[in-house]
């Protein structure tokens, strides 16, 4: 009888532990979805700003502001920074910077439609890289979710052109960089201080953006920009950078890289929604069907079934 009671208590304990893990995962993925909504909502702002200020100059201001905000909020935590955090955070920051850079340069030689679709290929690259290089177990329904998200991305960026040029290749490298960013955040944020990792990667992007701006743009760093530009920098710096990357580093620890990639594939949906609300831009029925497929992929990926 006592053995039975002990076994019962252990079983209940394990079930509660599993339930807590599942709830943490669901809550984390809700926060990751909030990040996607934030990123999607800022596309309209960024589109207007890039026409008025060079891209690397814009990124310099944006990531500098984000770094300063996080340092001010977590300045006591900065005392705990060590060489391992600097190494891993710098690696994450390099992947993030390469993603932005390759996309910015590549889009000059290809169409925005193709660039959007090819960038979205990171949703396919993440599970492949995770499985073969870090031995992450793939959830069968996550694979199905990836397929739906991939088809949805193709619908969102539907085009009759299937040629492949230099710009497409650069954007493909961009997709690989963003995939590596997602994987490395998931890998290192579980072992190291996620706040310091977020701060380090943001500082790295700021430094590299500043160097690129000085080399290619020769910017005049002054305060004479219009209020629209400064408001865009403030909003994207605070919400789309400081808050978003803090949340990603904090909550991705409780999910998988593959599920995160599927959730992030929903960014074009919210970008289209806010572009319609703020700029009056319209998308076709095929694009909205693609959005629904991505959402369907997100839902399917939540069910647990290993392969």
91-125 per-position pLDDT tens digit: 999 999 999 888 878 877 776 666 666 777 788 88
Residue 244: is its pLDDT beyond 90?
Answer: yes
Is 60 exceeded by the pLDDT of residue 14?
no
Higher pLDDT, 87 or 175: 87
123 and 153 Cβ atoms separated by less than 8 Å: yes
Q: Which two tokens stand for residue 5?
A: 């009671």
C-beta of residue 217 within 8 angstroms of C-beta of residue 57: yes
* Of 145-149, 178-182, 265-269, 278-282, minimum mean pLDDT range: 278-282
> 1-10, 55-64, 147-156, 208-217: which has the minimum mean pLDDT?
1-10
Average pLDDT of span 144-149 = 83
For the stretch 126-142, pLDDT in tens is 888 887 777 777 777 77
Of the chain, the percentage scoring pLDDT greater than 70 comes to 82
pLDDT higher than 50, residue 10 = no
- Checking if the pLDDT of 211 tops 90, the result is yes
Look at 272 and 187; give whichever has higher pLDDT. 187
Average pLDDT estimate for 203-231: 85
Mean pLDDT confidence for 257-271: 82
* Cα 41 to the center of its chain, rounded Å: 14
Reply yes or no on whether the pLDDT at 3 is more than 50: no
Are 157 and 111 in contact by the 8 Å Cβ rule? The answer is no
Instruction: For the beta carbon of residue 66, count every other beta carbon within 10 angstroms.
Output: 27
C-alpha span between 193 and 77 (Å, rounded): 9
Provide the mean pLDDT of the chain: 80
Residue 50's pLDDT is 76
Give residue-wise pLDDT tens across range 284-300.
777 778 778 877 777 77
Radius of gyration of the chain (CA): 21
Residue 157's pLDDT is what? 64
pLDDT at 272 over 50: yes
Cα 147 to its chain centre, rounded Å, is 19
State the distance between the two ends of the chain, measured CA to CA, in whole angstroms.
Answer: 38
Percent of the chain with pLDDT over 90: 34
pLDDT recorded at residue 6:
38
- CA-based nearest residue to 202, from 75, 99, 63: 63
Of 130, 142, 160, 163, whose CA–CA distance to 265 is shortest?
142
pLDDT confidence of residue 120: 75
Whether residue 9 has pLDDT greater than 50: no
Domain ranges of the chain: 27-300
pLDDT at position 164 is: 66
3-state secondary structure of 203: helix
Model confidence at 64, pLDDT cuts 50, 70, 90, reads very high
**CA torsion angle 68 265 92 118 (round to 10):** -120
């Amino acid at each position: 009888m006592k053995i039975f009671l002990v076994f019962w208590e252990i079983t209940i304990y394990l079930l509660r532990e599993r339930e807590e893990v599942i709830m943490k995962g669901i809550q984390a993925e809700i926060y990751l979805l909030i990040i996607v909504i934030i990123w999607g909502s800022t596309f309209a702002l960024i589109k207007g700003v890039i026409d008025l200020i060079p891209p690397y100059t814009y990124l310099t201001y944006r990531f500098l502001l984000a770094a300063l905000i996080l340092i001010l909020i977590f300045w006591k935590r900065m005392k705990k920074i060590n060489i391992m955090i600097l190494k891993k955070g710098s690696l994450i920051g390099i992947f993030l910077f390469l993603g932005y850079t390759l996309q910015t340069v590549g889009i000059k030689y290809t169409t925005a439609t193709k660039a959007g679709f090819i960038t979205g290929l990171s949703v396919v690259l993440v599970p492949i890289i995770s499985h073969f290089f870090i031995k992450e177990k793939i959830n069968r329904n996550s694979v199905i979710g990836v397929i739906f998200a991939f088809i949805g991305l193709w619908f969102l960026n539907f085009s009759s052109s299937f040629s492949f040029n230099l710009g497409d290749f650069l954007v493909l490298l961009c997709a690989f960089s963003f995939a590596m960013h997602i994987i490395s955040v998931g890998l290192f944020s579980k072992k190291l201080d996620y706040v310091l990792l977020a701060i380090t990667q943001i500082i790295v992007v700021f430094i590299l953006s500043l160097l690129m701006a000085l080399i290619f743009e020769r910017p005049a760093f002054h305060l004479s920009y219009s209020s629209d530009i400064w408001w865009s920098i403030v909003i994207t710096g605070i919400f789309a950078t400081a808050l978003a990357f803090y949340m990603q580093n904090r909550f991705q620890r409780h999910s998988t890289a593959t599920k995160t990639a599927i959730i992030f594939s929903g960014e074009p949906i919210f970008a289209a929604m806010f572009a319609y609300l703020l700029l009056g831009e319209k998308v076709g029925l095929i694009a909205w069907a693609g959005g629904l497929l991505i959402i369907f992929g997100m839902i399917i990926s939540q069910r647990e079934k290993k392969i």
